[in-house]
Protein backbone atom coordinates (compact mmCIF):
# COMPACT_ATOMS: atom_id res chain seq x y z
CA UNK A 1 0.00 0.00 0.00
CA UNK A 2 2.72 2.47 0.95
CA UNK A 3 5.65 3.05 -1.40
CA UNK A 4 7.88 5.39 0.56
CA UNK A 5 8.15 5.82 4.30
CA UNK A 6 9.79 8.44 6.48
CA UNK A 7 11.01 7.07 9.82
CA UNK A 8 11.80 9.82 12.33
CA UNK A 9 14.17 8.70 15.05
CA UNK A 10 16.71 10.15 17.44
CA UNK A 11 17.62 6.93 19.22
CA UNK A 12 15.56 7.25 22.42
CA UNK A 13 13.53 4.33 23.81
CA UNK A 14 10.32 5.58 22.16
CA UNK A 15 12.02 6.16 18.82
CA UNK A 16 13.47 2.65 18.94
CA UNK A 17 9.93 1.27 19.04
CA UNK A 18 9.24 3.13 15.82
CA UNK A 19 12.42 1.62 14.34
CA UNK A 20 11.27 -1.86 15.37
CA UNK A 21 7.81 -1.30 13.92
CA UNK A 22 9.26 -0.19 10.58
CA UNK A 23 12.16 -2.62 10.09
CA UNK A 24 10.78 -5.70 11.86
CA UNK A 25 7.06 -5.48 11.09
CA UNK A 26 6.37 -3.22 8.11
CA UNK A 27 9.44 -4.31 6.09
CA UNK A 28 8.50 -7.97 6.61
CA UNK A 29 5.04 -7.27 5.17
CA UNK A 30 6.24 -4.98 2.35
CA UNK A 31 9.94 -5.62 1.58
CA UNK A 32 9.98 -3.20 -1.41
CA UNK A 33 9.02 -0.15 0.59
CA UNK A 34 11.54 2.72 0.34
CA UNK A 35 12.65 3.89 3.76
CA UNK A 36 14.23 7.20 4.69
CA UNK A 37 15.54 7.44 8.25
CA UNK A 38 15.36 11.08 9.31
CA UNK A 39 17.22 12.42 12.34
CA UNK A 40 16.44 16.05 13.06
CA UNK A 41 19.07 18.23 14.71
CA UNK A 42 16.86 20.42 16.85
CA UNK A 43 17.14 24.09 15.91
CA UNK A 44 16.58 24.96 19.57
CA UNK A 45 20.25 24.18 20.25
CA UNK A 46 20.69 27.84 19.25
CA UNK A 47 18.80 28.83 22.41
CA UNK A 48 20.93 26.68 24.66
CA UNK A 49 23.41 29.49 25.27
CA UNK A 50 20.78 30.80 27.71
CA UNK A 51 21.75 33.98 29.51
CA UNK A 52 25.39 33.85 28.47
CA UNK A 53 26.48 37.40 27.70
CA UNK A 54 30.23 37.16 28.28
CA UNK A 55 31.34 35.17 25.28
CA UNK A 56 32.04 36.70 21.92
CA UNK A 57 30.07 35.73 18.81
CA UNK A 58 33.14 33.73 17.76
CA UNK A 59 32.91 31.56 20.89
CA UNK A 60 29.16 31.14 20.32
CA UNK A 61 29.79 30.08 16.75
CA UNK A 62 32.48 27.63 17.93
CA UNK A 63 30.00 26.16 20.43
CA UNK A 64 27.24 25.75 17.82
CA UNK A 65 29.73 24.23 15.33
CA UNK A 66 30.80 21.77 18.00
CA UNK A 67 27.16 20.92 18.78
CA UNK A 68 26.39 20.26 15.13
CA UNK A 69 29.51 18.17 14.61
CA UNK A 70 28.92 16.24 17.83
CA UNK A 71 25.26 15.56 17.08
CA UNK A 72 26.16 14.39 13.57
CA UNK A 73 28.76 12.00 15.01
CA UNK A 74 26.19 10.69 17.49
CA UNK A 75 23.67 10.26 14.66
CA UNK A 76 26.24 8.24 12.72
CA UNK A 77 26.69 6.00 15.78
CA UNK A 78 22.93 5.61 16.01
CA UNK A 79 22.55 4.77 12.33
CA UNK A 80 25.27 2.12 12.70
CA UNK A 81 23.26 0.61 15.56
CA UNK A 82 20.12 0.52 13.39
CA UNK A 83 22.04 -1.13 10.53
CA UNK A 84 23.50 -3.70 12.94
CA UNK A 85 20.13 -4.45 14.57
CA UNK A 86 17.95 -4.65 11.45
CA UNK A 87 19.26 -6.18 8.21
CA UNK A 88 16.39 -4.49 6.37
CA UNK A 89 17.95 -1.13 7.24
CA UNK A 90 20.83 -1.76 4.82
CA UNK A 91 18.75 -0.43 1.93
CA UNK A 92 17.44 2.59 3.83
CA UNK A 93 18.55 6.17 3.21
CA UNK A 94 19.82 8.00 6.31
CA UNK A 95 19.60 11.78 6.52
CA UNK A 96 20.00 14.40 9.20
CA UNK A 97 18.54 17.90 8.89
CA UNK A 98 18.80 20.96 11.13
CA UNK A 99 15.45 22.60 11.83
CA UNK A 100 12.31 22.82 13.94
CA UNK A 101 11.00 19.30 14.57
CA UNK A 102 7.44 19.38 13.21
CA UNK A 103 8.12 21.56 10.18
CA UNK A 104 11.17 19.53 9.22
CA UNK A 105 9.21 16.25 9.36
CA UNK A 106 6.51 17.66 7.11
CA UNK A 107 8.90 19.34 4.68
CA UNK A 108 11.16 16.27 4.35
CA UNK A 109 8.19 13.94 3.84
CA UNK A 110 6.88 16.15 1.05
CA UNK A 111 10.32 16.69 -0.52
CA UNK A 112 11.04 12.95 -0.62
CA UNK A 113 7.55 11.99 -1.82
CA UNK A 114 6.85 9.90 1.28
CA UNK A 115 3.35 8.53 1.76
CA UNK A 116 3.73 7.60 5.42
CA UNK A 117 5.52 9.15 8.40
CA UNK A 118 6.37 6.91 11.37
CA UNK A 119 7.27 8.29 14.80
CA UNK A 120 7.67 6.84 18.30
CA UNK A 121 5.02 7.03 21.03
CA UNK A 122 4.67 9.81 23.56
CA UNK A 123 6.45 8.89 26.77
CA UNK A 124 6.45 10.56 30.15
CA UNK A 125 9.70 12.37 30.71
CA UNK A 126 11.64 11.00 33.66
CA UNK A 127 14.64 13.15 32.94
CA UNK A 128 14.65 14.96 36.27
CA UNK A 129 14.60 11.83 38.42
CA UNK A 130 16.47 9.44 36.20
CA UNK A 131 20.22 9.31 36.71
CA UNK A 132 20.80 7.68 33.34
CA UNK A 133 21.04 10.37 30.69
CA UNK A 134 18.90 10.41 27.54
CA UNK A 135 20.62 11.23 24.29
CA UNK A 136 20.66 14.78 22.96
CA UNK A 137 18.25 17.58 23.65
CA UNK A 138 14.98 16.86 25.41
CA UNK A 139 12.34 17.75 22.86
CA UNK A 140 8.70 16.84 22.42
CA UNK A 141 6.90 16.59 19.12
CA UNK A 142 3.96 18.97 19.17
CA UNK A 143 1.46 16.56 17.65
CA UNK A 144 -1.21 19.22 17.24
CA UNK A 145 1.16 21.35 15.19
CA UNK A 146 2.35 18.29 13.26
CA UNK A 147 -1.24 17.30 12.42
CA UNK A 148 -1.80 20.68 10.80
CA UNK A 149 1.33 20.35 8.67
CA UNK A 150 1.10 16.66 7.67
CA UNK A 151 1.40 16.05 3.91
CA UNK A 152 0.64 12.29 4.35
CA UNK A 153 -0.67 9.84 6.98
CA UNK A 154 1.14 9.59 10.29
CA UNK A 155 1.75 6.30 12.08
CA UNK A 156 2.66 6.35 15.77
CA UNK A 157 4.32 3.20 17.09
CA UNK A 158 2.47 1.74 20.09
CA UNK A 159 3.97 2.24 23.51
CA UNK A 160 5.81 -0.79 24.84
CA UNK A 161 4.73 -1.54 28.44
CA UNK A 162 8.30 -1.53 29.77
CA UNK A 163 8.72 2.07 28.62
CA UNK A 164 6.05 3.18 31.06
CA UNK A 165 2.89 5.24 30.52
Partner 1 sequence: MAQIQDNKPLFIISGLMILYALLASSGILHPLMKYLHTAKTADLQVTMGFIAGGIGILGAIINSVRKPGTTLIDRFVLQPLPGILMILLMAMAIRWYVEPVVKLISHSLQPVLGFKIYKVLNLNYVILGLLAGVILTNTYGIPKFAQAGVKCARFVLKMGVIMLGARYSFAELAKLGTYSIFLVGFFVLGTVFFVLWLGGIFKQPKTMTGVLSAGMGVCGVSATVAVAPVVKARSEEMAYTIGTILSFGIICMFVFPTIGHMAGMNAVQFGAWAGTGILNSAQVAAAALAFNAVDIKTLKVAEIFNITRVLFLPIIVLVLATWFGKESGKKLTFKEVVIDKFPIFILGFLLLFAMSSMGLFSPPTHYKGKFIDFSYNDRTQITEKEWETLKKAVDTGTIKGLTPEQMEAVKDLVAQRQIAGNYEDRNDKKLFYRQGEQRMFQLEAILAAAKAKTIEIPPDVKAAIKHAVKQVHKKSKTVTTLTDCMIWFFAFGLIGLGMQITKKAIFQAGGWPLVIGVISGVTKAALSFVVVLWLVKDVVLK
| Binding interface with partner 1 (CB under 8 A) | 44, 47-56, 58-60, 62-63, 65-67, 70-71, 74, 125, 127-139
Min separation Cβ 73 and partner 1, Å: 9
Min separation Cβ 72 and partner 1, Å: 10
Distance CA 111, CA 128 (A): 37
Min separation Cβ 163 and partner 1, Å: 17
Q: Which residue's CB is nearer to partner 1, number 77 or number 91?
A: 77
Is residue 40 a contact partner of residue 99, using CB atoms and an 8 Å limit? yes
List the 93-99 sheet strands across, edge first.
Answer: 93-99, 34-42, 4-8, 116-119, 154-156
Is residue 102 a contact partner of residue 142, using CB atoms and an 8 Å limit? yes
Q: Which residue's CB is nearer to partner 1, number 26 or number 39?
A: 39
Min separation Cβ 32 and partner 1, Å: 35
Min separation Cβ 58 and partner 1, Å: 6
Residue 106 phi, psi dihedral angles, 5° rounding:
-65, -45
Q: Which residue's CB is nearer to partner 1, number 60 or number 111?
A: 60
Q: Which residue's CB is nearer to partner 1, number 78 or number 108?
A: 78
Is residue 152 a contact partner of residue 109, using CB atoms and an 8 Å limit? yes
Work out the number of other CB atoms within 10 angstroms of the CB of residue 109.
Answer: 25
Q: Which residue's CB is nearer to partner 1, number 101 or number 114?
A: 101
Amino acid sequence: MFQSLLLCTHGTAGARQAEQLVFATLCAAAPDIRITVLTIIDRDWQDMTGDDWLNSSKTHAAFLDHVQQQVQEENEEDWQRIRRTYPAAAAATFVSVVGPIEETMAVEAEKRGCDLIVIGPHRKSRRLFNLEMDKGLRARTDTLLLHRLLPCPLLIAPLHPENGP
